[in-house]
Amino acid sequence: MTGQLRLAQFLTIETDEWKDANGILRPESSYYYQNFFMSESKAFQGNTYDFAPFRIEAQTNALNGDNGILQILFPYSEYAIKLVEQGNGNRLSSLILYTLWLPPDDSLTSSMPKEEGYYIGIGASFSDTTIELRFRSAIDSVINNFPSRYITRELAGLLPNNAELALQ
């Protein structure tokens, strides 16, 4: 069937080291999951990503410049509980999210279109069936008194003297 939209999402979740309630230092850890290739591990960006059923619930942006919120829903499972525990309630976690547009043969190549996002953990919640990890965009919005930069010859090089300026 032609014209199918084929998206794969790859998560890299990293947790910082922290002390648990007993004062034991827990090491930092990295976890790699993808949600497209069922029961398979796939190599991507130099790491091996295991299959995990997860869903990206929402990413929201506000007009006043608040950072975007991302929610990842995992089934209530041992590996998802471990993500929450290792991230100290998902407050010491960081996330890199890759969204890949796959070709019809589902091959992974370095030249395929992809989107990349960086996020910081802000919390987690549990229900009987799901575990939700919440993240906030790691790129902060720009405020109105942020120092601006001007295009100068040192920054941009030689510029045309007319309106034929094309940004690529």
pLDDT digits (tens, 9 = 90+) for 81-121: 888 887 778 888 889 999 888 888 888 877 777 788 888 88
For the chain, the domain total comes to: 1
* Domain containing residue 14: 7-156
At 1, is the pLDDT very low, low, confident or very high (cuts 50, 70, 90)?
very low
* 93 CB-near residues (< 8 Å, 6+ apart): 13, 14, 15, 16, 83, 86, 87, 120, 121, 133, 135
Q: What pTM did the predictor assign? A: 0.71
| Residue at 131 is within a domain | yes
Look at residue 148 and tell me if it is in a domain.
Answer: yes
What is the dihedral sign for C-alpha 68, 29, 31, 49? positive
**C-alpha separations of 29 from 7, 122, 149 in Å:** 27, 17, 38
pLDDT for residue 36 is more than 70: yes
